[in-house]
Amino acid sequence: MSASVHAADSTAGSGPAPATGPAPGATARRRGGLALRPGTWLTWAVLAFFFVNLLGVIGTVLVDSLGSRWFASWLPSGWTGHWYSDAWKEFSLGQVLGTTVEVTFLVVLLSLVLAVPASYALARRDFPGKKLLTTLFVLPILVPPIAYGIPMATVLYKFHLAGSLTGVVLANLVPSIPFVIFTMTPFIEQVDPKIEAAARMCGASTWTVLTRILAPLLLPGILAAGILVLVRTFGMFELTFLTAGPTSQTLIVALFSAVNSAGIRSTQSIDAMAVLYTGTMAVLLLVALRFVNPTQLVTRSSD
């Protein structure tokens, strides 16, 4: 516990104090300055404790994957990179990564093609039964993936699709389609329908309106939705786990199987795989953050 207080000390000392911000209320309440009140201290301490633990969780995995032997000491006795090549061979990561990329891109493409037109209609029209339709699209987000994944796996087995790439893609479409719809609808609502009407008045055909007016305006939204689905599908464990076979595993499922069936496998090469997973995820995340602001996103998807 006191390690966290120490960390909080450095964060609060060097970091910005809430009272120095340019916000409207700040000047009126600048009685504390840098001499923070206990509540502020506690807030920073809790956050710092959280981040120290998070860093520890990620750091342990990273250090372990690079260390040669690590038993009862703070750090491994030596450093090596051979766990990565081991993991690459042992878990045939080349094939797993290929499958992951294939699944993710197919899911992104299909969910965009299916869901963007639907979100256009939902954003533009108010019709009887709209509430029912919205409920239909909310349900796959609310029901836990395991709860519908099990009946879905049974159905896929019935149609001999379970274990194949098609099955995995179909399963991952279920949460992705509603996700695209709920991300895209606010984007489309922002586009003034008068622009479309004006284009039509100037004699544009439906196709021209679509390609010259709507597509350029909606492209940022489509990109954002696509990247978010990419991140989600990459990290989607439950559905892929329930429907994948030995040849259609994605990286995260391969990781779970490696941990859970670990007998003679070294933890280091599992950790090397975990680091590869985190690294890819971090890159995807950085790309995603260039396009979307997290708080905005949460406001959008929750309302």
**Is the CB of 118 or the CB of 223 nearer to other proteins?**
118
Q: Does position 33 bind other proteins by CB under 8 A? A: no
Largest CA distance in the chain: 77
- Which two tokens mark 83? 């766990």
Residue 170 half-sphere exposure, CB side, CA atoms within 13 Å? 19
From the CB of 89, what's the least distance to other proteins, in Å?
A: 20
Q: Does position 79 bind other proteins by CB under 8 A? A: no
Q: Total number of residues binding other proteins (CB under 8 A)? A: 105
Kind and range of the H or E element at 162? none
> In angstroms, rounded to a whole number, what is the distance separating the alpha carbons of residues 181 and 185?
6
Among 232, 219, 252, CA closest to 173: 232
Please report, for residues 21, 35, 40, 41, the alpha-carbon distance to residue 27 in angstroms, rounded to integers and kept in the order given: 9, 15, 17, 20
Please report, for residues 11, 165, 195, the alpha-carbon distance to residue 43 in angstroms, rounded to integers and kept in the order given: 11, 47, 48
> In angstroms, rounded to a whole number, what is the distance separating the alpha carbons of residues 49 and 10?
12
Q: Does position 213 bind other proteins by CB under 8 A? A: no
Q: Does position 174 bind other proteins by CB under 8 A? A: yes
Q: Does position 199 bind other proteins by CB under 8 A? A: no
Q: Does position 38 bind other proteins by CB under 8 A? A: no
From the CB of 85, what's the least distance to other proteins, in Å?
A: 20
140 near 175, Cβ under 8 Å? yes
Q: Does position 50 bind other proteins by CB under 8 A? A: yes
Which region, judged by CB under 8 A, interacts with other proteins, from 57-65, 76-84, 91-99, 216-224? Answer: 57-65
Helix, strand, or coil here: 270? helix
- Considering only residues 13 to 32 of the shown chain, the ones binding other proteins according to CB under 8 A are 15-18, 20-26
Query: What are the two backbone dihedrals, phi and then psi, of residue 60, each rounded to the nearest 5 degrees?
Result: -55, -45
> In angstroms, rounded to a whole number, what is the distance separating the alpha carbons of residues 220 and 116?
13
Q: Which of 33, 39, 203, 246 touches other proteins by CB under 8 A?
A: 39
DSSP character string of 56-87 = HHHHHHHHHHHBS--SSSSS-SSB-SHHHHHH
Question: Could you give the string, one character per residue 247-286, with x where binding to other proteins holds by CB under 8 A and - elsewhere?
Answer: -----x--xx--xx------x--xx--x--xx--xx-xx-
Which region, judged by CB under 8 A, interacts with other proteins, from 58-66, 82-90, 99-107, 216-224? Answer: 58-66
Q: Does position 245 bind other proteins by CB under 8 A? A: no
Which region, judged by CB under 8 A, interacts with other proteins, from 78-86, 92-100, 215-223, 293-301? Answer: 293-301
- Considering only residues 82 to 121 of the shown chain, the ones binding other proteins according to CB under 8 A are 113-115, 117-118, 120-121
Q: Does position 10 bind other proteins by CB under 8 A? A: no
> In angstroms, rounded to a whole number, what is the distance separating the alpha carbons of residues 191 and 99?
37
Q: Which of 106, 107, 227, 242 touches other proteins by CB under 8 A?
A: 242
Query: What are the two backbone dihedrals, phi and then psi, of residue 79, each rounded to the nearest 5 degrees?
Result: -115, 140
Which region, judged by CB under 8 A, interacts with other proteins, from 78-86, 89-97, 98-106, 171-179? Answer: 171-179
From the CB of 93, what's the least distance to other proteins, in Å?
A: 15
From the CB of 209, what's the least distance to other proteins, in Å?
A: 7
As beta bridge partners, residue 244 has 163
Q: Does position 200 bind other proteins by CB under 8 A? A: yes
Among 125, 147, 124, 141, CA closest to 178: 141
- Considering only residues 176 to 195 of the shown chain, the ones binding other proteins according to CB under 8 A are 177-178, 181
